[in-house]
């Protein structure tokens, strides 16, 4: 079974995980599940979210974060975080081939976003074995 | 000692990552992810950010070679990687349907940068059936009034890739 077919079958699990992530806090306004080679697979967002470009960019960013960690002789890159004036992006690998990205504004604590992203990722890893 | 920046670009699967592996005097950095789309039929991983290699020249200069991702969805990386480059190596896969269109796309995409610098073209997977490809590429360049060297190369072959790189450096030095 291909990874994408498996994700289609588990669509409800994916949708529920992303919805739960958004429900954690009003500050979390979007979540995106994409493949590590840059394809958007599922999203949940309060407003419109242009997912195709974001999926490709998060794929580049995650790969770079993981390589920089190795170059700095650190191991096990858990999260790549982009902290901005008006919000955060938190990226976390899900299994071998997926990445989840959480977008939040400043009304939520970064630790909370990381924790919620982690819970969603662990749930997806358990349910979709890719 | 100075550091020179070159960029290798071209379609997915043309051999950019392999070319940097062949050229680099230090273990290169690759940002590859497993392919999950139709590309997985021809390769298991693909570059999603950039490849990076270092080449130490006899004159003491160091060449930093960056490889771009091939797919257009990684266009955001193309400009980032191209910034500050003094020359471009465009790899063209002669076994694809329309190598001239491939070359045109990469020349168009990097036009702003190439106009300021220069480029050489390496043609991969040349065999007894597609030798005409180089001629077609020369015709296209001539029509566009562009004068870049074209060479058949095997990205796995260090001497092939070194020759291509040195011809680019010679063009930059002597015009």
Q: What is the pLDDT of residue B129?
A: 80
- Predicted pLDDT of residue B72: 92
Contact B33 A63 (CB under 8 A): yes
Kindly calculate the radius of gyration of chain A based on its CA atoms and give it in whole angstroms: 14
Structure tokens at B48: 């999603």
- Cβ–Cβ gap A37/B48 under 8 Å: yes
Nearest-CB residue to A3 (from B36, B49, B69): B36
pLDDT of residue B76: 93
Residue A78 region, left (φ>0) first, then alpha (ψ -120 to 50), else beta? Answer: alpha
- The pLDDT tens digits of the residues spanning A74-128 come to 999 999 999 999 999 999 999 999 999 999 999 999 999 999 999 999 999 998 8
CB-facing half-sphere around the CA of B94: CA atoms within 13 A = 22
Contact A37 B35 (CB under 8 A): yes
Question: Do residues B91 and B14 lie in contact, with contact meaning Cβ atoms separated by under 8 Å?
Answer: yes
pLDDT class of A4 with cuts at 50, 70, 90: low
Nearest to B36 among A35, A60, A64 (CB): A35
| Mutation target vs A (from B29, B36, B44, B81; most A CBs, 10 A cutoff) | B36
Q: B112-126, pLDDT tens digit by residue?
A: 999 999 999 999 999
Cα separation, B45 vs B31, in Å, equals 10
Q: Please state the domain count of chain A.
A: 1
pLDDT tens per residue across span A31-61:
999 999 999 999 999 999 989 999 999 999 9
* Chain B partners within 8 Å of A37 (Cβ): 33-37, 39, 46, 48
Who contacts B14 (Cβ-Cβ below 8 Å, separation ≥6)? B70, B91, B92, B93, B124, B155
pLDDT over threshold 70, residue A6 = no
Q: What is the CATH number of the domain that holds A87?
A: 3.30.450.30
Contact A60 B46 (CB under 8 A): no
All domains of chain B in start order, with CATH? 3-170 (3.40.50.300)
The rounded distance, in Å, linking the Cα atoms of B96 and B11 is 10
Range of the domain at A86: 3-127
End-to-end CA distance of chain A: 11
Residues 6+ apart with CB under 8 A from B37: A37, A39
């Amino acid at each position: 079974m291909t990874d994408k077919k498996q994700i289609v079958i588990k669509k409800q699990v994916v949708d529920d995980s992303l919805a739960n992530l958004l429900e954690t806090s009003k500050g979390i306004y979007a979540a995106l599940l994409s493949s590590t080679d840059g394809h958007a697979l599922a999203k949940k967002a309060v407003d419109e979210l242009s997912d195709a470009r974001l999926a490709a960019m998060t794929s580049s960013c995650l790969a770079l974060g993981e390589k920089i960690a190795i170059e700095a002789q650190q191991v096990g890159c858990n999260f790549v975080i982009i902290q901005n004036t008006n919000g955060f992006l938190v990226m976390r690998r899900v299994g071998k081939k997926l990445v989840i990205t959480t977008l939040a504004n400043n009304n939520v604590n970064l630790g909370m976003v990381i924790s919620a992203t982690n819970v969603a990722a662990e749930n997806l890893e358990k349910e979709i074995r890719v | 000692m100075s550091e020179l920046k070159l960029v290798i670009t071209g379609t997915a699967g043309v051999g950019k990552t392999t070319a940097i592996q062949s050229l680099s005097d230090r273990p290169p950095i690759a940002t590859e992810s497993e392919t999950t789309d139709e590309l997985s039929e021809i390769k298991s991983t693909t570059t999603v950010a950039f490849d990076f290699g270092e080449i130490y020249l006899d004159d003491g200069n160091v060449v930093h070679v960056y490889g771009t991702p091939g797919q257009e969805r990684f266009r955001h990386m193309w400009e980032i990687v191209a910034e500050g480059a003094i020359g471009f190596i465009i790899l063209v896969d002669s076994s694809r349907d329309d190598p001239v269109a491939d070359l045109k796309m990469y020349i168009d995409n990097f036009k702003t940068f190439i106009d300021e610098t220069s480029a050489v073209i390496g043609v991969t997977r040349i065999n007894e059936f597609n030798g005409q490809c180089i001629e077609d590429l020369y015709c296209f360049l001539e029509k566009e009034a562009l004068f870049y060297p074209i060479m058949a190369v095997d990205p796995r072959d260090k001497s092939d890739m070194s020759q291509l790189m040195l011809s680019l450096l010679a063009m930059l030095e002597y015009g």
